[in-house]
């Protein structure tokens, strides 16, 4: 009773608000359609895979999304590395290392991230103009008000062939590693698994550097796959997708029911369980319906992009015979207009990117440091004692006993920090880094489509959050300590 | 209980000294936990340490394993004196097995991995050999079927037996038991004590801190009674339980029996 | 709030019982060997870190003390940074507001007997450290000779004083932390009277620069604040000694809750009440609701009323919802909704005559408070300001943060209860809401509420941007609050529920009297953590152009004609202000955690 009442109340309130908003929108004739996604937006963005002359607004937003993903993923990696170092330093026996790291943590996590980002940005903008000697390491590292430029390593066409070589190398290295470990376990002699694997990999790397054209044969193979995809009729894929979705749902329900029943019979299903099963099945039917009827374009889009992908591989593997697979260049300075700027040769972090990147990385690293420290301290003291009582050395105890358990404790809050970091990159708007929020804002200022742009933002971030949670949860479940 | 008093009093006068403690003292800040403790434990001897809680029993045996550092006096285990030298400590620890009150099994490893971890990484044994030894030990403590489970899936008594097997896997010459049954439900105490009795019968040198009077009476060669960080009385079980000399021992026994 | 919720948040502590553990001290040589040079690797680390620290410190000092820095921009704009464009001739209201907070703080410290003792030696160690740091600053900073000398002098004096005290006192001497804090603050405030920091200000738009000590309008009120803190502290102790500690604590807790409202709407905004309108409208509404609603609730709170009570409560709810269908004063609708809520909750608080009377009294108090507040909000302010909101700077930051926390608390508790309830619909709704809000960045919600919120309002209902943003902030914060409270709810053992059930309590009674008080107690440390987060997140208001501390520091001051481009100085100053607030709160939370004994395993 109460539930239904509350539901009606909530729905009523929502309906009231939405109808009110609809009236107001109509009254002020504010456009709400998503048509801007299809139309050229007539805007420029600061940086990204494309910066001007967008064919559609969707493309411009996509550039913003890629920028967000780029900064978030780089930030996650950097913040993790720095955070782990800080966390270990907090536990160091060296007084000064410990003090420095605790000052780092206490300073950074008590100042709002936005203030830090703006401060870093301001520092960049007050630096001097680009000039030949604007760097501490002449010719290699440049810092100026246009950002930070370092030498760049980039792949030529042969790099694909070289990477194929390395893939085989990785397989062999894995085998060598496995072999050495087994040898150690079986005979008790000290093996060298890491040395062996590294050696195999470097041998493949060096040989591949010269012999990579051998892999050119892969090109035509990919070409064949592309042709096959091209020949596949759209309806077939539609059918396959629809059937697949329903089959997956049924399999999941079967497994779920199985997990609920034991030798003595099936446990009583709660409302929740029913809800889940019905939801899963309804979802799969919905997907099938969407694939078949609502949005048949999806299958052809999948087919086309699959074909394009393999054709691209065909091209890449076919060309670039001979020559180096990789090359590197030092930063260069060009002067297109009145002011000098960095050219495309070096890897340049714009002040916008650098401010957001260093801001979120330092800030998140302070939190991750505390999490790592807490995780290690949270492993019960008895575990360390038991490890030393059976004769393990400190390093062995750390590797076999402390760290595996600390990692389990650390994982959920760490995942939370990754979520926070991703969401915090949206502060880019304060310094004008072209992330999805900033691009979106430019678009709605241009077109007045505030509501749809905001919906796209929220969906995008929800998708990111969901992905991170799913990944973290996956590991969390797999690593969970077995209890009765 | 009554026939326990007639436990065999073995003649160990010829055996070599396994552990020698001389004037061992330890402070935690201002609090003195051990006050000049001296005792000698011979090979194959089973010594039970009794005393009220906070009397320094656990601290003493943890000092023997170097889990705690004593500040005065000397401890010699199997002819090696405990110093701060790291190699020295590692050698001692692989000769002295220890069983804790809270089991301290590694929850992220299976029972088998718990037992084989140290033999493989410290003794550098081949895995196959370590595993078959571990299975034999599990057989000996009576739970061969639990090898592939995780500690969290076992009962307290089973966990403690795994802990004993884990300590035995290093083939120690001395076993220290720090209140091994205090965290167990009554019905599980017996299964652990049975394992310990078997171990004592096999000739293992053991120091056991416990509150199990029946075990002390039945198995111990000697009983050491401690209070306030000092050894108050030492004697055979018969002497200890039937006519203790010290008043404090009498008081303790009257409270506990 | 019920009795059970507000009492005993912190137990009285004997002043000597919470001494920190005493660390045995080694002689300096051994200490260094153990902590800095225990091995070759450690020695290298030590040397490298010392060099890096020296380099960084030198760089920072070089930046901060460079003659190019416009610190006078900060000094001149102090008022703007702290209170925004609050009118100068009314500024005494700001001081009164601060005074209210200081007085409440002093009273609470006294009544709760907060503050412990610390070893004098550890304080002296800090004295040595600070003295050494001051000398180091003197060495590293780009000073002239005489300035350098004065730094040496101050540092040397500190070290000498620490040494003198150390040799004169016993090693086990302890000092009260409150006394230490008071001495520190007194020295800082006293220095305003003695040391010629210089007087910088904008007075009526004209820039004033003069030598000498700071303006009397700054140092005078600050001194009063220190004296007020001391007086109220002793007053608080007296009260705690004379009467049972229960009710002063209750009164103080409620005062803390009410203080932001009182400060913002009555002290700072000073509403210009139209008393004729109040006599003809507000007073009759109050009487109708207080008397009529009171009678209804008195009847509903009877233990014997049974099913009829529920039906009457449901009818009240429907009637309250129906008020939205016809035009009438907003106040009447809101009060009708409140009455419905009270009617629905009546069975939970039913009891004998005294309990029913208490319930009715609480209701009358709520009606009075709400009416007063709504009237005050709707009355025009006497304080005139040239910006959209009458204040800005740190004051705005604090106002938004405290309102957000206070408003999101009940919402968060309700969401948490819904999420842990065993009714699937509630659970699904609450989970969806919480996960949605937690999945999107705050800035998108902020922009949404700042740009689109007016669209969702009925016609001719106006909401200022600041109110809209605070509502958005509250809704955002409530989701996180709910997760923290849920953590507390989950920590409560099954047995508590079962024991409550065994006593024959209804679900509502169980929740209100048994579960929530315990869960909230466990949730206090994470909630303090969230308060810190909220305080930091208010800086995002600057993005949507509200005049908070960050906006003043980043965009206003560096654009004044006399101080063009002084943005780095202002940002550093703002960082220090933010840092002090957040750090103080996090230390307080750590102490609280230790006291409550939660968070330990």
**Each residue's pLDDT tens digit, B146-173:** 999 999 889 999 999 999 999 999 889 8
Question: Does residue C120 have a pLDDT over 50?
Answer: yes
Report how far residue C269's alpha carbon sits from residue C88's, in angstroms, rounded to the nearest whole number.
14
Residue of B nearest to A400 (CA): B117
How high does pLDDT run on average in chain B? Answer: 86
A400 touches chain B (CB under 8 A): yes
Say if the Cβ atoms of C568 and A457 lie within 8 Å.
no
Q: Please check whether residue A397 lies inside any domain of the structure.
A: yes
The nearest CA of chain C is from the CA of A204 a distance in Å of 35
pLDDT value of position C598: 46
Say if the Cβ atoms of A115 and C574 lie within 8 Å.
yes
Q: Please check whether residue A91 lies inside any domain of the structure.
A: yes
Predicted-complex ipTM score? 0.88
Residues in A closer than 8 angstroms to C53, CB to CB, are: 96, 100
A481 touches chain B (CB under 8 A): yes
Which of the four pLDDT bands, split at 50, 70 and 90, describes residue C13?
very low
Question: Does residue C12 have a pLDDT over 60?
Answer: no
Say if the Cβ atoms of C575 and A96 lie within 8 Å.
no
Residue of C nearest to A14 (CA): C456
Of the two residues B6 and C308, the one the predictor is more confident about is: C308
Question: Does residue C600 have a pLDDT over 50?
Answer: no
Q: Which of A187, A390, A407 to mutate to test the interface with B (most CBs of B within 10 A)?
A: A390
Question: Does residue C20 have a pLDDT over 80?
Answer: no
Q: Select from B65, B126, B170 the Cβ nearest to the Cβ of A187.
A: B126
pLDDT value of position C17: 42
pLDDT value of position A15: 86
* Lowest mean pLDDT across A440-449, C219-228, C297-306, C453-462: C453-462
Say if the Cβ atoms of A110 and C447 lie within 8 Å.
no
Say if the Cβ atoms of A111 and C423 lie within 8 Å.
no
Query: What pTM does this model have?
Result: 0.85
Report how far residue C132's alpha carbon sits from residue C135's, in angstroms, rounded to the nearest whole number.
5
A180 touches chain B (CB under 8 A): no
pLDDT value of position C15: 38
Q: Select from C423, C456, C550 the Cβ nearest to the Cβ of A114.
A: C550
Query: How far are the Cα atoms of C181, C186, C190, C453, C601 from residue C161, in angstroms, in the given order?
Result: 18, 18, 19, 60, 41
Residues in C closer than 8 angstroms to A93, CB to CB, are: 35, 38, 42
pLDDT value of position A321: 60
**Could you give the percent of chain A with pLDDT greater than 90?**
32
pLDDT digits (tens, 9 = 90+) for A377-413: 999 989 999 998 888 888 888 888 998 999 999 999 9
Residue of C nearest to A465 (CA): C439
Residues 6+ apart with CB under 8 A from C441: A423, A424, A426, A437, A461
pLDDT value of position C398: 94
Q: Please check whether residue A339 lies inside any domain of the structure.
A: no
Residue of A nearest to B65 (CA): A389
Residues in C closer than 8 angstroms to A454, CB to CB, are: 444, 447-448, 452
Compute, in degrees rounded to 10, the torsion defined by CA atoms C291, C292, C293, C294.
40
**Domain check: are A23 and A46 in the same one?**
no
pLDDT digits (tens, 9 = 90+) for A150-179: 888 887 777 888 888 889 999 999 998 888
As a whole number, mean pLDDT of residues C187-209 equals 85
Q: Please check whether residue A145 lies inside any domain of the structure.
A: no
pLDDT digits (tens, 9 = 90+) for B22-63: 999 988 877 888 988 999 999 899 999 998 888 889 999 998
Report how far residue C44's alpha carbon sits from residue C29's, in angstroms, rounded to the nearest whole number.
18
A1 touches chain B (CB under 8 A): no
Q: Select from A186, A380, A405 the Cβ nearest to the Cβ of B108.
A: A405
Count the domains in chain A.
3
Q: Please check whether residue A152 lies inside any domain of the structure.
A: no
**Domain check: are A202 and A254 in the same one?**
yes
Least Cα distance to A426 among A469, A471, A447, A457 occurs for A457
Reduced to 3 states (helix: H, G, I; strand: E, B; else coil), residue C325 is coil
As a whole number, mean pLDDT of residues C300-308 equals 82
Reduced to 3 states (helix: H, G, I; strand: E, B; else coil), residue A14 is helix
The nearest CA of chain A is from the CA of B177 a distance in Å of 12
Which of the four pLDDT bands, split at 50, 70 and 90, describes residue A322?
low
Question: Does residue C141 have a pLDDT over 60?
Answer: yes
Residues of B with CB under 8 A from a CB of A: 65, 67, 90, 93-94, 96-98, 100, 102, 104-108, 117-118, 120-122, 124-129, 149-150, 152-154, 163, 166-167, 169-170
As a whole number, mean pLDDT of residues C351-360 equals 86
Residues in B closer than 8 angstroms to A392, CB to CB, are: 117-118, 121-122
pLDDT value of position C24: 55
Which of the four pLDDT bands, split at 50, 70 and 90, describes residue A16?
confident
Q: Over C173-219, what HEC string results? A: CEEEHHHHHHHHHHHHHHHHHHCCCCEEEEECCEEEEECCCCCHHHH
Q: Which of B108, B128, B167 to mutate to test the interface with A (most CBs of A within 10 A)?
A: B108
Residues 6+ apart with CB under 8 A from A452: A32, A33, A34, A36
pLDDT value of position C344: 85
* Lowest mean pLDDT across A43-47, A461-465, C218-222, C297-301: A43-47
**Domain check: are A23 and A70 in the same one?**
no
Report how far residue A178's alpha carbon sits from residue A173's, in angstroms, rounded to the nearest whole number.
8
CATH number at residue A58: 1.10.3720.10
**Domain check: are A306 and A167 in the same one?**
yes
**Domain check: are A298 and A352 in the same one?**
no
Residues in B closer than 8 angstroms to A185, CB to CB, are: 120, 126-128
A480 touches chain B (CB under 8 A): no
Which of the four pLDDT bands, split at 50, 70 and 90, describes residue C5?
very low
pLDDT digits (tens, 9 = 90+) for C546-580: 899 999 999 888 888 888 888 999 999 999 999 99
Give the H/E segment covering residue A412. Answer: helix A403-424
**Domain check: are A407 and A282 in the same one?**
no
Residues 6+ apart with CB under 8 A from B84: B69
As a whole number, mean pLDDT of residues A273-298 equals 82
Strands (E), A115-224: 142-144, 147-150, 152-155
Least Cα distance to C210 among C191, C196, C224, C189 occurs for C196
pLDDT digits (tens, 9 = 90+) for C154-192: 899 999 998 888 888 877 788 888 888 899 999 999 988
Q: Select from A392, A396, A408 the Cβ nearest to the Cβ of B108.
A: A408
How high does pLDDT run on average in chain C? Answer: 85
How big is the CA angle at C422 (ends C420 and C426), to the nearest 5 degrees?
75
**Domain check: are A451 and A411 in the same one?**
yes
Residues in A closer than 8 angstroms to B160, CB to CB, are: none
Length of chain C, in residues:
601
pLDDT value of position A320: 55
Which of the four pLDDT bands, split at 50, 70 and 90, describes residue A266?
low
CA B164, distance to chain mean position in Å, is 10
Query: How far are the Cα atoms of A240, A394, A477 from residue A399, in angstroms, in the given order?
Result: 47, 9, 21
Residue of C nearest to A13 (CA): C321
Report how far residue A180's alpha carbon sits from residue A183's, in angstroms, rounded to the nearest whole number.
5
pLDDT value of position A135: 62
Q: Which of B100, B117, B170 to mutate to test the interface with A (most CBs of A within 10 A)?
A: B117
**Domain check: are A312 and A188 in the same one?**
yes
The nearest CA of chain C is from the CA of A181 a distance in Å of 30
As a whole number, mean pLDDT of residues C527-542 equals 93
Of the two residues C6 and C478, the one the predictor is more confident about is: C478
**Domain check: are A6 and A52 in the same one?**
no
Give the burial class of C177: count Cβ atoms within 10 A of its Cβ; 0-12 exposed, 13-18 middle, 19 or more buried.
middle
Of the two residues C537 and B120, the one the predictor is more confident about is: C537
pLDDT digits (tens, 9 = 90+) for C324-345: 787 778 888 889 988 988 888 8
Say if the Cβ atoms of A3 and C550 lie within 8 Å.
no
Q: Please check whether residue A203 lies inside any domain of the structure.
A: yes
Q: Which of A187, A375, A385, A386 to mutate to test the interface with B (most CBs of B within 10 A)?
A: A386
**Domain check: are A187 and A308 in the same one?**
yes
The nearest CA of chain B is from the CA of A267 a distance in Å of 21
Say if the Cβ atoms of B108 and A404 lie within 8 Å.
yes
The nearest CA of chain C is from the CA of A168 a distance in Å of 39
How big is the CA angle at C283 (ends C279 and C286), to the nearest 5 degrees?
170
pLDDT value of position B2: 40
The neighbours of chain A, by the rule of 3 or more Cβ pairs under 8 Å, are B, C
pLDDT value of position B136: 94
pLDDT value of position A437: 94
pLDDT value of position C601: 33
Question: Which stretches within A261-350 are classed as H helix?
Answer: 271-289, 297-318
Report how far residue C366's alpha carbon sits from residue C372's, in angstroms, rounded to the nearest whole number.
10
Report how far residue C328's alpha carbon sits from residue C285's, in angstroms, rounded to the nearest whole number.
12
pLDDT value of position C474: 96
As a whole number, mean pLDDT of residues C94-105 equals 94
Residues in B closer than 8 angstroms to A193, CB to CB, are: none
The nearest CA of chain A is from the CA of C577 a distance in Å of 9
**Domain check: are A200 and A64 in the same one?**
no
pLDDT value of position A383: 93
Residue of A nearest to C584 (CA): A110
Of the two residues A340 and A322, the one the predictor is more confident about is: A340
Q: Select from A382, A405, A484 the Cβ nearest to the Cβ of B102.
A: A382
Residues in B closer than 8 angstroms to A186, CB to CB, are: 126-128
Residue of C nearest to A99 (CA): C49
How big is the CA angle at B154 (ends B149 and B156), to the nearest 5 degrees?
150
The nearest CA of chain A is from the CA of C213 a distance in Å of 30
Which of the four pLDDT bands, split at 50, 70 and 90, describes residue A132?
low
How high does pLDDT run on average in chain A? Answer: 85
**Domain check: are A196 and A254 in the same one?**
yes
pLDDT value of position A171: 93
Domain housing A1? 1-30
Of the two residues B242 and C15, the one the predictor is more confident about is: B242
pLDDT digits (tens, 9 = 90+) for C256-287: 988 998 898 888 888 888 888 888 888 999 99
pLDDT digits (tens, 9 = 90+) for C423-465: 888 888 899 999 999 999 999 999 999 888 888 877 667 788 8
Say if the Cβ atoms of A115 and C440 lie within 8 Å.
no
Strands (E), C109-198: 117-119, 174-176
Of the two residues C149 and A259, the one the predictor is more confident about is: C149
Say if the Cβ atoms of C49 and A423 lie within 8 Å.
no
Report how far residue C274's alpha carbon sits from residue C251's, in angstroms, rounded to the nearest whole number.
30
């Amino acid at each position: 009773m109460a539930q239904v009442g509350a539901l009606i109340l909530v729905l009523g309130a929502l309906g009231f608000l939405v109808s009110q908003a609809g009236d107001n929108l109509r009254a002020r004739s504010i456009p709400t359609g998503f048509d801007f996604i299809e139309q050229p937006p007539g805007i420029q963005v600061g940086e990204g895979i494309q910066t001007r002359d967008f064919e559609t607004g969707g493309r411009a937003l996509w550039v913003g999304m890629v920028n967000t993903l780029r900064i978030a993923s780089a930030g996650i990696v950097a913040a993790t590395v720095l955070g782990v170092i800080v966390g270990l330093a907090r536990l160091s026996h060296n007084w000064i290392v410990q003090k420095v790291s605790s000052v780092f943590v206490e300073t950074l996590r008590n100042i709002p991230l936005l203030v830090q980002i703006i401060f870093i940005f301001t520092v960049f903008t007050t630096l001097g103009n680009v000039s030949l000697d604007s760097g501490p390491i002449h010719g290699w590292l440049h810092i100026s008000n246009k950002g930070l430029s370092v030498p760049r390593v980039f792949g030529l066409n042969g790099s694909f062939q070289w990477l194929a070589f390395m893939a085989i190398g990785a397989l062999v290295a894995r085998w060598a590693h496995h072999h050495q470990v087994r040898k150690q376990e079986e005979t008790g002699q000290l093996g060298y698994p890491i040395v062996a694997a590294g050696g195999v990999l470097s041998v493949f790397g060096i040989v591949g550097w010269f012999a990579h054209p051998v892999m050119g044969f892969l090109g035509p193979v990919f070409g064949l796959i592309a042709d096959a995809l091209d020949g596949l009729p759209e309806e077939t894929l539609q059918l396959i997708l629809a059937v697949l979705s329903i089959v997956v749902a049924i399999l999941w329900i079967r497994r779920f029911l199985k997990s609920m029943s034991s030798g003595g019979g099936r446990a009583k299903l709660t409302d929740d369980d029913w809800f889940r099963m019905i939801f899963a099945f309804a979802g799969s039917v919905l997907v099938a319906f969407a694939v078949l009827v609502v949005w048949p374009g999806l299958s052809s889009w999948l087919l086309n992009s699959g074909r394009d992908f393999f054709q691209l591989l065909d091209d890449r593997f076919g060309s670039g015979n001979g020559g180096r697979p990789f090359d590197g260049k030092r930063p260069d300075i060009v002067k297109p207009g009145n002011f000098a700027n960095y050219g495309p040769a070096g890897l340049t972090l714009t002040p916008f990117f650098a401010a957001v990147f260093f801001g979120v990385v330092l800030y998140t690293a302070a939190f991750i440091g505390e999490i790592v420290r807490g995780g290690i301290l949270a492993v019960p003291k008895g575990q360390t004692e038991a490890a030393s009582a059976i004769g393990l050395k400190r390093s062995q105890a750390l590797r076999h006993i402390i760290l595996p358990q600390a990692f389990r404790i650390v994982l959920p809050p760490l995942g939370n920090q990754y979520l926070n970091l991703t969401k915090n990159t949206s502060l880019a708007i304060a310094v004008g880094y072209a992330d999805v929020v900033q691009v979106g804002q430019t678009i709605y200022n241009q077109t007045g489509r505030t509501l749809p742009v905001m919906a796209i933002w929220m969906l995008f971030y929800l998708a990111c959050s969901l992905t991170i949670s799913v990944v973290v949860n996956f590991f969390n479940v797999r690593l969970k300590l077995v209890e009765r | 209980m009554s026939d326990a008093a007639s436990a065999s009093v073995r003649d160990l006068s010829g055996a070599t000294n396994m552990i020698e403690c001389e004037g061992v003292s330890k402070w935690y800040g201002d609090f003195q936990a051990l006050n000049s403790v001296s005792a000698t434990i011979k090979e194959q001897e089973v010594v039970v340490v009794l005393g009220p809680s906070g009397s320094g029993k656990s601290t003493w045996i943890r000092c023997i394993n170097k889990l705690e550092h004593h500040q005065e006096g000397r401890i010699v285990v199997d002819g090696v004196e405990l110093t701060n030298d790291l190699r020295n400590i590692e050698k001692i620890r692989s000769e002295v097995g220890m069983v804790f009150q809270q089991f301290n099994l590694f929850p992220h490893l299976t029972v088998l991995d718990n037992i084989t971890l140290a033999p493989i990484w410290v003794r550098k044994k081949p895995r196959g050999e370590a595993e078959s030894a571990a299975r034999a030990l599990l057989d000996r403590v009576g739970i061969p079927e639990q090898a592939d489970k995780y500690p969290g899936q076992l009962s307290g008594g089973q966990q403690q037996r795994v802990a004993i097997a884990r300590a035995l896997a290093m083939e120690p010459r001395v076993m220290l038991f720090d209140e091994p049954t205090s965290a167990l439900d009554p019905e599980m105490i017996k299964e652990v004590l049975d394992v310990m009795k078997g171990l004592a019968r096999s000739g293992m040198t053991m120091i056991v801190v416990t509150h199990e009077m029946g075990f002390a009476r039945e198995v111990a060669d000697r009983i050491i009674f401690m209070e306030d960080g000092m050894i108050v009385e030492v004697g055979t079980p018969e002497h200890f339980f039937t006519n203790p000399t010290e008043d404090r021992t009498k008081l303790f026994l009257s409270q506990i029996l | 709030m019920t009795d059970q919720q507000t009492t005993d948040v912190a137990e009285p502590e004997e002043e000597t019982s919470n001494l920190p553990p005493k660390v045995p001290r080694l002689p300096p040589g051994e200490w260094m060997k153990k902590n800095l040079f225990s091995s070759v690797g450690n020695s290298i680390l030590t040397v490298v870190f010392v060099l890096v620290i020296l380099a960084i410190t030198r760089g920072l000092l070089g930046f901060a003390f460079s003659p190019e820095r416009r610190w006078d921009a900060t000094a001149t704009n102090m008022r703007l940074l702290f209170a925004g464009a609050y009118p100068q001739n009314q500024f005494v209201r700001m001081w009164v507001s601060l005074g209210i907070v200081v007085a409440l703080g002093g009273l609470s410290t006294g009544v709760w007997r907060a503050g412990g003792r610390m070893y004098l030696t550890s304080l002296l160690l800090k004295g040595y450290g600070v003295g050494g740091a001051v000398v180091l600053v003197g060495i590293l900073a780009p000073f002239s000779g005489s300035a350098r000398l004065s730094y040496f002098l101050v540092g040397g004096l500190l070290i000498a004083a620490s040494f003198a005290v150390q040799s004169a006192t016993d090693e086990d001497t302890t000092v009260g932390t409150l006394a230490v804090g008071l001495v520190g603050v007194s020295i800082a405030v006293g220095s305003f009277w003695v040391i010629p920091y210089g007087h910088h200000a904008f007075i009526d738009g004209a820039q004033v620069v003069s030598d000498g000590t700071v303006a009397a309008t700054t140092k005078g009120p600050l001194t009063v604040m220190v004296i007020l803190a001391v007086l109220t502290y002793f007053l608080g102790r007296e009260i705690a000694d004379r009467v049972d500690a229960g009710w002063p604590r209750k009164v103080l807790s409620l005062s803390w809750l009410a203080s932001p409202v009182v400060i913002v709407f009555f002290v700072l905004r000073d509403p210009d009440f139209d008393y004729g309108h109040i006599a003809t409208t507000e007073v009759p509404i109050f009487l109708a609701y207080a008397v009529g609603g009171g009678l209804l609730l008195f009847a509903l709170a009877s233990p014997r009323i049974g099913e009829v009570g529920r039906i009457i409560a449901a009818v009240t709810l429907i009637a309250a919802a129906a008020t939205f269908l016809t035009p009438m004063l907003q106040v009447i609708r809101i009060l009708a909704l409140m009455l419905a809520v009270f009617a629905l909750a009546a069975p939970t608080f039913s009891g004998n005559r005294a309990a029913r009377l208490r319930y009715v009294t609480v209701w009358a108090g709520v009606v009075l408070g709400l009416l007063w507040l709504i009237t005050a909000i709707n009355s025009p302010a006497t304080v005139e300001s040239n910006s959209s909101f009458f204040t800005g700077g740190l004051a705005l930051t604090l106002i938004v943060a405290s309102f957000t926390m206070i408003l999101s608390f009940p919402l968060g508790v309700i969401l948490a209860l819904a999420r842990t309830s065993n009714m699937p619909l509630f659970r699904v709704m609450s989970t969806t809401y919480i996960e949605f809000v937690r999945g999107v960045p705050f800035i998108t919600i902020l922009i949404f509420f700042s740009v689109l919120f007016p669209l969702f309002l009925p016609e001719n209902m106006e909401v200022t941007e600041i109110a809209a943003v605070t509502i958005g902030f509250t809704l955002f914060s409530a989701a996180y609050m709910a997760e923290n409270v849920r953590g507390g709810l989950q920590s409560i053992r099954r047995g508590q529920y079962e024991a409550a059930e065994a006593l024959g309590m209804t679900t509502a009674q169980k929740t209100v009297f048994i579960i929530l008080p315990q869960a909230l107690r466990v949730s206090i440390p994470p909630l303090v953590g969230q308060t810190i987060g909220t305080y930091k997140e208010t800086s995002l208001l600057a993005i949507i152009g509200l005049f908070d501390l960050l906006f003043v520091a980043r965009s206003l001051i560096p654009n004044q004609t006399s101080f063009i481009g002084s943005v780095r100085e202002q940002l550093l100053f703002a960082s220090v202000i933010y840092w002090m607030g957040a750090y103080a709160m996090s230390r307080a939370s750590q102490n609280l955690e230790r006291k409550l004994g939660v968070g330990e395993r």
